[in-house]
């Protein structure tokens, strides 16, 4: 469970990454996404549903493009690797590459204004890759590690991000002490769940602060 701390009366956009069982970002195209707020006693009768289709007095959901965020890790040894994007391949990267180095390698393929990397360095922490600019609204292929040195394990996990923006006059206190989880419903009404355990829980903790008028 992820805990998010916010200040009462503040305005913020929370985002939640959804990944399917194959490591790709969840394919949410044409699907209804619901964020369901449930009190700590799991009293589902008191749940409040926010939908990307209908919205809610509590806020709105919006869904990003599939795999527009990807998480790169390199563990288990030293060496080098490359990343394949569609039919293009990056320059050789070190198992301890910084976020800036990963970004430069990808920028040479997709354009300097179309990718941003944070975190790292590899071997110590994951690098978060985000496709921006002209690629932001487009589903992306999952990056494929190739030519990986023996003993080194390089993985890429895709994410589809669901954003929750509270309504302008929704006090965070009204959302606390609720937990939340996602439900994804396809075109024929079948309920799908992400990640594999079926519930992506968050806990919203509200600190004292100013109140919006």
Contact (CB, 8 A) for 119 and 127: yes
- Is the model's pLDDT at 57 over the cut of 90? no
Cα 43 from Cα 38, distance rounded (Å): 6
| 168 Cβ contact list (under 8 Å, min separation 6) | 11, 212
Contact (CB, 8 A) for 179 and 203: yes
pTM: 0.80
- Is the model's pLDDT at 30 over the cut of 80? yes
- Is the model's pLDDT at 166 over the cut of 80? no
User: What single string gives the DSSP state of each residue in 106-172?
Assistant: HHHHH-TTSEEEEE--TTTS-EEEEE-GGGTTS--PPPEEESPPTT-EEEEEEEEEEEEEE-TT--H
Contact (CB, 8 A) for 70 and 142: yes
176 compared with 74, residue with greater pLDDT: 74
Radius of gyration of the chain (CA): 19
How distant is the alpha carbon of residue 108 from its chain centre? 24
Domain edges within the chain: 69-160
Closest CA to 180 of 21, 25, 8, 40: 40
Mean pLDDT is lowest, of 118-127, 152-161, 190-199, for 190-199
What confidence score (pLDDT) does residue 201 get? Answer: 57
SS3 assignment, position 40 = coil
- Is the model's pLDDT at 70 over the cut of 80? yes
What confidence score (pLDDT) does residue 195 get? Answer: 46
- Six token digits for residue 48: 């409040």
């Amino acid at each position: 469970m992820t805990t998010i701390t916010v200040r009462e009366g503040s305005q913020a956009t929370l985002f939640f990454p959804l990944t399917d069982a194959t490591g790709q970002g969840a394919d949410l195209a044409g699907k209804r996404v619901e964020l369901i707020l449930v009190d700590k006693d799991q009293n589902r009768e008191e749940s409040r549903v926010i939908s990307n289709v209908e919205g809610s007095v509590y806020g709105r959901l919006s869904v990003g493009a599939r795999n527009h965020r990807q998480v790169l890790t390199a563990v288990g040894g030293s060496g080098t690797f490359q990343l394949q994007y569609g039919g293009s391949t990056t320059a050789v990267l070190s198992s301890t590459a910084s976020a800036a180095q990963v970004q430069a390698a990808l920028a040479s393929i997709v354009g300097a204004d179309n990718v941003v990397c944070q975190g790292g360095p590899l071997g110590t922490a994951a690098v978060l890759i985000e496709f921006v600019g002209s690629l932001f609204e487009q589903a992306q292929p999952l990056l494929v590690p190739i030519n990986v040195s023996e003993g080194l394990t390089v993985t890429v996990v895709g994410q589809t991000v669901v954003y929750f923006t509270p309504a302008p006059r929704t006090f965070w206190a009204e959302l606390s002490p609720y937990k939340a989880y996602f439900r994804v419903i396809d075109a024929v009404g079948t309920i799908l769940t992400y990640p594999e355990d079926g519930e992506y829980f968050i806990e919203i903790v509200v600190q004292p602060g100013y109140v919006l008028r």
